Structure 1
């Protein structure tokens, strides 16, 4: 099949995942380069992925040199207070860790930029967070934060990076925090993940609307990007659905002659995606493509629909509630973090 450059994700571990599922030679090349340090572990229900990318690793996986920390609660749902509390605790811990080398004083200023379009809910996490922080700043009289939601280029006619650059030159902050909505390559990540990275950000890159980057190289001060994945390409949903169907049928065929299968009284529900499944058992039913990897089937849908004018970007129906929850979470954590840093 034609090689596709997968750009519709802003999550570093999804990029790493694609590399790991490519050819054996490519994976060995990545390992030999020693350019990507990949750690993955759980803290209660929060899955933590820490990726450190060197200059060599940047060329291999197409992500900027620096640190990336991804926090995910796979089972998170809209009413899951415990899950949000654990995610908030983890976010506070790692926002401190990624800034441990920056020295703060009571006079230090942190410029917080809320990227995105407030009139389009899936893209409004940045402006929503600025609103939440402004309300709290009025109550608590915190002087360290300078808050700004610049809108998008389509509204202002100017590059967002130019606004931020001008503010940075005027304010002289020790740090710029850029908050934005992200795109993901997995439906299981939608509104269940926060990514923190000290590499800056390209606004709109996940949906093919890449603008001038906001980074230390451009602004001259450290830039940390905080993102929440709120949209996914519709082709990903198709690929995920097909994969789930294939896994379910293959599992049922494998269990058919086992005693445990004969004892089942309810329909089978798919186990963890990490479970090994022998897709060869369904080849006679669906043909060769059923044995392809998930990434290969996804690439097939991408190729077929690449020139389709009706390609869709999809978001959860409860996205307005999720945006409010994440705006509150990020706001609370940033105020608690800065209070601990300067007091």
Structure 2
């Protein structure tokens, strides 16, 4: 079963603005253009903001990078550096810290394999510090990593596995990587979100699992997610909107099309979901290039994590 979830704060903020016509109360937003990428920092600073967009109080940083689908090395390096900078600001690790990197998801399903792929590429060092400390140079911290699988494979709640490791290893922070489900086609495999509020595996598909956050583990939990799928209702809604836009441009719109045009994105989405539910059409869609994209994006994220944790790798 997927551990994919819908958790883009930037999308929740957009839905609120579309419905109300104003900025979200209790939320501060900063937008930065970084060349061919855009960084949006959303800070939910009180319970009013939390209730308004359905997200816990905390920081949500979204890196929108359309060029990720082209898999250009120079572009990918730039996005990795943006990720490093944002992670450093959230982590603030002491010099002698230990970080546990957790790759959530099902390694047998391409669209859900992001977390395990990142874990396989992160530089782990805890064993070197423990057994051969003379072989580790300056500028490195202790890192350990785990891809615990999903409940359907292990029969154990992921949160229980991670809690047991945290109790035994006693890391200073957890970085959890997971696949997300987006509400916009354009954000699939082109967006990276970082948050300090932790993670709820499976919530994007209604499969709620126990959370991984400060309250559950007693240490900071930084979550990194990339939307890798959209559901069928999103695809249908976007197709309808493209049809409406095309009719507007051509001047061939029928007289009754205005009804659809006046509906908000959320209203269109809800209507399509109602149509699909009786047919049990709970489908998710992912691009055909998913294998290549998972490989390249996991490399970007692993490099960003390595550079954020290990000062020795910051300029590589």
Task: Spell out, residue by residue over 1:296-326, the C-alpha distance to the aligned partner (whole angstroms, 9 max, x if none).
Answer: 2222212222332122111111111111111
Partners of 1:322 and 1:138 lie apart in 2 by 31
Matches within 5 A, 1:237-256: 237-253=235-251
Partners of 1:213 and 1:310 lie apart in 2 by 27
**Matching of residue 12 in structure 1 with residue 4 in structure 2:** no
Residue 94 (structure 1) aligns with: 86
Within the candidate set 33, 41, 45, 2:32 is matched to 41
**Matching of residue 307 in structure 1 with residue 297 in structure 2:** no
Task: Find the structure with the greater CA-based Rg.
Answer: 1
Residue 267 (structure 1) aligns with: none
TM-score, normalisation: structure 2:
0.88
* RCO comparison, higher one (Cα < 8 Å, 6+): 2
Matches within 5 A, 1:1-343: 9-24=6-21, 27=22, 31=24, 34-53=25-44, 54-99=46-91, 102-105=92-95, 107-133=96-122, 144-253=142-251, 282=253, 284=255, 286-340=257-311
Three-state SS of the structure 2 residue aligned to 1:89 is: helix
Partners of 2:257 and 2:12 lie apart in 1 by 29
Partners of 1:224 and 1:103 lie apart in 2 by 12
1:69–1:196: 8 Å Cα contact kept in structure 2? Answer: yes
Three-state SS of the structure 2 residue aligned to 1:49 is: strand
| Residues paired across the two proteins, number | 301
TM-score, normalisation: structure 1:
0.81
Distance of aligned partners of 1:198 and 1:300 in 2 relative to their CA distance in 1, 3 Å threshold: same
Three-state SS of the structure 1 residue aligned to 2:179 is: strand
2:196–2:222: 8 Å Cα contact kept in structure 1? Answer: yes
Partners of 1:301 and 1:8 lie apart in 2 by 20
Partners of 1:76 and 1:249 lie apart in 2 by 31
Residue 278 (structure 1) aligns with: none
Distance of aligned partners of 1:137 and 1:243 in 2 relative to their CA distance in 1, 3 Å threshold: farther
- Tell me how far 1:138 sits from its aligned partner: 9.3
- Tell me how far 1:137 sits from its aligned partner: 8.9
Distance of aligned partners of 1:226 and 1:341 in 2 relative to their CA distance in 1, 3 Å threshold: farther
2:198–2:222: 8 Å Cα contact kept in structure 1? Answer: yes
- Tell me how far 1:166 sits from its aligned partner: 1.0
1:68–1:196: 8 Å Cα contact kept in structure 2? Answer: yes
Partners of 2:100 and 2:6 lie apart in 1 by 26
- Tell me how far 1:341 sits from its aligned partner: 8.1
Any gaps of 5 or more consecutive residues in structure 1?
A: 1-6, 254-280
Partners of 1:131 and 1:226 lie apart in 2 by 16
Distance of aligned partners of 1:310 and 1:299 in 2 relative to their CA distance in 1, 3 Å threshold: closer
Report the RMSD for the aligned CA atoms in angstroms. 2.5
Any gaps of 5 or more consecutive residues in structure 2?
A: 129-134
